[in-house]
Structure 1
């Protein structure tokens, strides 16, 4: 009778639309034959793409309509299980999966039953079909759920004098989840890597107003590509086990075959790198015999593979056929590592459902915006997540949400934030010596930053020992806007001269990067405006090595600058600068060396200490720069627009005009330049290159002074900035031009391509660098540089040569570091 009433009720409800249909919740746990939970099992309503995944503890949850439903449970390394269940109420259903038994019975893979099964033959078949399957997916749409978890397994008690447990909210053992976030997105894809993702919901533990950094497209990995994870975990990327050249990097072993639920024979193949330090995976891949397509993968990367920052990475991917096209049903990344005393682990999982592999996109559907996060995405309540979360939370994750969310509002209260500020604002003399001291008022989004002292005390031959000190005041707003004011004072004890100025900036449009700034006052400026040399390094050069590399002048100025994007990747910047400029003379020759190589402040008359490089004058200059990065992808968040590194170059055109007679301005010139810059050209296993080409000309040079000349990014110090734009040996000042110029820079990073093959050196994990630069102008014709070096993380050493036409003029080592 009860069943009859339920069926009658269902028939009655069937008259309404599907949106009004009642759903019941099926929950359960998936274990193996020993009762051990099976994590991230893919669970689909059979013959559909509606489904979910179990969590790391094997628990699953799925909302289903009333009545009978056929469910398919699949997991890498386990027998798939198809079963029927009938729901008229919420129900619990535990599932036990059986490990797949792979036998080594012969399987025919050739014609006329002559070719017998071997791992190598199966892989060759898969490689032969690689390009077909790489290009078989024309387009699709789907819903994607992602979850990212990062946790500390152990940590030091103190880090730079700060209590780690308090800062990261850890337990007394130094353990805990430090990042937990979930998203639900709508993902659209079209071949040629066209992607559009809209994040409809976002949840971040302990931050009600935060937006997740999870991105569904970040979990995309396609092993039909020859090289995967390029420039992600190292420069070069890693060879796919079914790449065209896979046999040069892998050994394969057939572990056995098995029949899936459709009667398809699946071969389990072990993959191992031929050489211990090859950029290759270890693990198993599963291939469907006959079609020779990937069924699933379970692969590992370790430090021996060349990954940086983490110790191991495990990738599991399960594929499903939709209209005879294979698409991911789930993907899982697990990582572990240890750095600077912090032992950590984490995972990211993506569950894909509701596929449509034959969508119809209009011509302008895709753009360079690859992800848009809706402003309301972080406003979903807990009931929404209970209903929409396809992968249940573990007990630890639930506890983390409960704990952090319960204090989230408390942490945004004035009382709490003031108490945090009282602790963090405690003055530390040791800290301010080497790092900035920041005074926070978090509730009002205000901060005051005091410069570190080591950067404030300096020496040069113009001012002698000098003190330059600045304080930055910043006021932020909830929508990402902010303004800042930075007053600065500078006093030279040698020339007994005081300078002071104020810089202010208002960032008014986070989406279009709209900014306006102005400044006024006096300053001691570098004669080469493109190279404000590091004042600390300049002091070391003078005091220790007896070389005053940097040259200076003084200016009393007023400037205004505005910049804004009028379209994505199109940026216009306009600057107006009015200044009185005055050449300076040396006043102090202090050095720790008995003899020194100090020169006059006029670089063209190094022995004449009374020579002034230019007369005192006034200049009013306006300039405009239009920059565009071709096809640059970007993410739009409610708090701003964020760009992804483009594989196409950035184009930049600059026009500068010296306007005469404006408030007694003495300058009169027109300058036009163009630049093409590409940060990274990728060459798969051979690494990546960077390229810059620039040219310019003074269209009118009736009246200009040395600060107006075209300068170059030069270097005369042992320490250099490792930017492809910079020359290694070029003089800062002697070869600036008032006419025309052409320059080119090229640099290539092989990413350990050669050194990884040398047994005694490959453990160093250093990257090989080669490069060169070229400059020609009336002042310096056919100048060139060539260099080679090695790099490890942020440290680099080069050895290079400089040539004037065909004559070698300099050689030597150059060092670079960055923190």
Structure 2
């Protein structure tokens, strides 16, 4: 018995030793002693590993006992070392540059480079390699660092060194963040990620915005990185039509783990095509991509950046190869701010074809819980696979100590007092905010410049509002907004109060109550901005916008019923009054121009458009986004751009008799829309289709009609649902209607080929609009134009049936 007990004791001791984890660390350098940044280090025949930092230093935990460690970096010969660990161990490694030989390579009689044969095989097997792994899970570590390497002394009067906490040369890290997560993937495009830990330098209560799916650059796709740095994206070196965009050159071959690896240079056929430069490494038998070291420049059409380097390494998992690390390094110069940085993702502990519970992929791309930013330094010392550099360690220490001071009551009180101090210029431009952090509330006064405007109904008008926000537990909050409006010509004062309670952020749920009086546009979509109407009225003697007054009270609620399905209910009572012009003042009197009446149907006389009437309306809207994806964070649920159509069903019923309501009708409307439908190198398309019908219209007045987004002016704001030449008011309807809007943006596909336009990075677009209803049958618009960021210019034509009724330019601005 004694011997048995002794044997069992020794057995458990051995098992315990094997279960222990020890830290393996060291420096990876080249022959000259220079660090090899971001080299991969992993245990052979596993997907457990890490990556060195920018200084070539690595550190990760491995089980006790003997393990074969592989050291690998693009352009270097891999090194394998058998290590027997019984404690923490330092292992420095020297990597020698890989020598790629062309010996034994057959050059064809036509002089065609052998690289083309290899690339053709890689293209032929692209779909096979893209789909050979149906699903997987992996541990992901992400680190992002951004630094300024040059900046102006001041920006809009603010000292940059103090504002961004830089050194005396206006250099330093401005953002440093790390995160770990568990990533799950299933074909064709299902993703679910659970963030485990999050750390942001100087922001102990913040949550990192790192997302593993943002780092997924898959060169087996035809086009990669669409709608990220370019609307079109960039052609993969092994895309189906890659031969039209690239030339290839075999730089040599080498042998790795018994397999021949081809090093192939990728060369753009045309300087300004959306393509990569650099080298790719391809297996000579299976034609898997083994690694890539490529880059983009400004000539490819990337926005905001000057260069982007992408270094991706793969490791073998069974019969396939999975990404082990990806490193994105970038640099740029915007408004004198010179910046550079990197994001690196390390993938480890792959489980190919895992057993995941039913319903695991439910549209949630990323879940961030409250506890992820509460991990202490001991956790990070064990979980961080890429050691921090000396600069990054110093940045954490300094910013965390500063954050501790800035979170002290004394500092926060002083900042609050300074921020609450009234500044006249700031009030005019940005408004004024009074904060009370102890009560977790803010009081924000609207900017003055937005509060003063002019129209011919009210004259010079002052409209000002204050928004009070009270933060509650669990990211709930309450807002109260009183607003007053006074017209100096019609001497009318109106005011309202709106209260909104956001009570369940994960369900996008809120309850709102509003009451008061106000002046509103006759078109409930609005005709043009108050500022735009003021300029047109004062300087061009053209009063586009028409108004009416109403006293109202309403209550509404909205809530997500299930993912992508939002329901909104509203009950609204209003007493509506016709208005007339009370002033004809203008700064400039233009010959041939004169103000029109406030009735768009009788521009030469002030005739009432409708009598004073009461209306009680009930409305319900159901909105469903097919395949809606979202991110869940402690502060709420955030929908991501939809890849599939959005369906909106709306029903509005006017009930006669309730609160002396005089209107009675039923409106049913359906709309289907989708933005940014990707078409690869051809850009993207967007569309809206809407139909509706008044099921009955026993009693209905103009403000209750179905209105459309028209445009009578040269300048406006972009909106896919807006017609370029349709009158703001004349073609609203109380019967049936159908409208269609379509636009395609070529994202520079054409202008990029014109040298004199290329540097402007313009995007060309074409579009069309269609409307039919009993008064305006088969109205059609066609247009084309150019845009850049927030500005666009279009030229179009409008037709009633086959008859051209309008044409001209339209300018728009805004996001």
TM-score normalized by the length of structure 2: 0.96
SS in 1 for 2:392: helix
Other-structure match for 1:608: 605
* 2:595 corresponds to which of 592, 598, 617: 598
* 1:702 corresponds to which of 688, 698, 704: 698
Provide Cα deviations, 1:141-172, integer angstroms capped at 9, x if missing partner. 11111111122222223322333333333223
Instruction: Give the alignment's Cα RMSD to 1 decimal.
Output: 2.0
Deviation at 1:12, TM superposition (A): 4.6
* 2:736 corresponds to which of 740, 762, 766: 740
Cα pair 2:250 2:262 within 8 Å, conserved = yes
* 2:208 corresponds to which of 201, 204, 212: 212
Deviation at 1:16, TM superposition (A): 4.4
Distance 1:679 1:714 in 2: 20
Distance 2:284 2:381 in 1: 40
Cα pair 1:108 1:116 within 8 Å, conserved = no
Q: CA separation of 1:238/1:116 partners in 2, compared to 1, >3 Å: closer, same or farther?
A: closer
* Residue 181 of structure 2 is aligned to residue 188 of structure 1: no
Cα pair 1:239 1:246 within 8 Å, conserved = yes
Other-structure match for 2:58: 60
Cα pair 1:106 1:117 within 8 Å, conserved = no
Distance 1:732 1:638 in 2: 43
Which range moves more in the overlay, 498-507 or 228-237?
498-507
Which range moves more in the overlay, 167-176 or 89-98?
167-176
Q: CA separation of 1:692/1:116 partners in 2, compared to 1, >3 Å: closer, same or farther?
A: closer
Distance 1:600 1:242 in 2: 64
Distance 1:511 1:769 in 2: 37
Other-structure match for 2:364: 369
SS in 1 for 2:665: strand
Distance 1:371 1:190 in 2: 15
Cα pair 2:527 2:710 within 8 Å, conserved = no
Other-structure match for 1:500: 495
Cα pair 1:468 1:489 within 8 Å, conserved = yes
* Residue 36 of structure 2 is aligned to residue 38 of structure 1: yes
Deviation at 1:661, TM superposition (A): 1.1
Distance 2:359 2:479 in 1: 39
Provide Cα deviations, 1:322-349, integer angstroms capped at 9, x if missing partner. 1111110111111111111211111111
Other-structure match for 1:631: 627
Which range moves more in the overlay, 423-432 or 596-605?
423-432
Other-structure match for 1:3: none
Cα pair 2:479 2:499 within 8 Å, conserved = yes
Q: CA separation of 1:672/1:567 partners in 2, compared to 1, >3 Å: closer, same or farther?
A: same
How do 1:9-20 and structure 2 match up within 5 A?
A: 12-16=12-16
Cα pair 1:553 1:583 within 8 Å, conserved = yes
Cα pair 1:720 1:728 within 8 Å, conserved = no
* Residue 753 of structure 2 is aligned to residue 757 of structure 1: yes
How do 1:119-158 and structure 2 match up within 5 A?
A: 119-158=115-154
Give the unaligned 5+ runs of structure 2: 1-6
Deviation at 1:81, TM superposition (A): 0.6
Other-structure match for 2:384: 389
Distance 1:143 1:200 in 2: 10
Other-structure match for 2:423: 428
Distance 1:423 1:253 in 2: 63
Q: CA separation of 1:306/1:114 partners in 2, compared to 1, >3 Å: closer, same or farther?
A: closer
* Residue 778 of structure 2 is aligned to residue 778 of structure 1: no
Provide Cα deviations, 1:554-573, integer angstroms capped at 9, x if missing partner. 11111111111111111111
Cα pair 1:182 1:204 within 8 Å, conserved = yes
Distance 1:336 1:14 in 2: 51
SS in 2 for 1:511: helix
Cα pair 1:106 1:116 within 8 Å, conserved = no
Cα pair 2:472 2:478 within 8 Å, conserved = no
Q: CA separation of 1:396/1:479 partners in 2, compared to 1, >3 Å: closer, same or farther?
A: farther
Provide Cα deviations, 1:587-643, integer angstroms capped at 9, x if missing partner. 11112232433111111111112x011111111111110101001111111221111
SS in 2 for 1:304: helix
Q: Aligned residues, how many? A: 807
* Residue 559 of structure 2 is aligned to residue 564 of structure 1: yes
Distance 1:478 1:310 in 2: 40
Provide Cα deviations, 1:786-819, integer angstroms capped at 9, x if missing partner. 1111011111111111111111111111111126
Deviation at 1:257, TM superposition (A): 1.5
Other-structure match for 1:271: 266
Give the unaligned 5+ runs of structure 1: 1-6
Cα pair 2:45 2:316 within 8 Å, conserved = no
Q: CA separation of 1:284/1:488 partners in 2, compared to 1, >3 Å: closer, same or farther?
A: same
Cα pair 1:107 1:116 within 8 Å, conserved = no
Which range moves more in the overlay, 364-373 or 443-452?
443-452
SS in 1 for 2:538: helix
* Residue 21 of structure 2 is aligned to residue 23 of structure 1: yes
How do 1:636-651 and structure 2 match up within 5 A?
A: 636-651=632-647
Distance 2:473 2:334 in 1: 34
Distance 1:323 1:456 in 2: 66
Deviation at 1:375, TM superposition (A): 2.7
* Residue 665 of structure 2 is aligned to residue 652 of structure 1: no
Cα pair 1:413 1:443 within 8 Å, conserved = no
Distance 2:170 2:510 in 1: 42
TM-score normalized by the length of structure 1: 0.96
How do 1:643-682 and structure 2 match up within 5 A?
A: 643-682=639-678
Other-structure match for 1:789: 785
Which range moves more in the overlay, 148-157 or 453-462?
148-157
Q: CA separation of 1:236/1:10 partners in 2, compared to 1, >3 Å: closer, same or farther?
A: farther
Provide Cα deviations, 1:265-312, integer angstroms capped at 9, x if missing partner. 211111121111100001111111122221100010111000001111
Q: CA separation of 1:171/1:311 partners in 2, compared to 1, >3 Å: closer, same or farther?
A: same
Deviation at 1:442, TM superposition (A): 4.0
Other-structure match for 1:540: 535
* Residue 681 of structure 2 is aligned to residue 685 of structure 1: yes
Deviation at 1:366, TM superposition (A): 1.8
SS in 2 for 1:78: coil
